[in-house]
Amino acid sequence: MNPLSSMQAEGLDGEMVELGRFAGSTLLIVNVASKCGFTPQYHGLETLYQQFRERGLAILGFPCDQFGHQEPGDAQEIRRFCSLQYDVSFPMFAKIEVNGERAHPLYQWLKREAPGALGSQAVKWNFTKFLVDTQGRVVKRYAPIVKPEAIGRELEALLPDSA
The catalytic residues are: 36
Which amino acid belongs to residue 90? F
Residues 2/136, Cβ–Cβ less than 8 Å: yes
- Three-class SS of residue 17? strand
At 18, is the secondary structure helix, strand, or coil? strand
3-state secondary structure of 100: coil
- Cα 161 from Cα 109, distance rounded (Å): 26
Which residues on neighbouring strands pair with residue 97, listed in sequence order?
none
Q: What value, to the nearest 5°, has the Cα angle with vertex 134 and ends 8 and 29?
A: 50
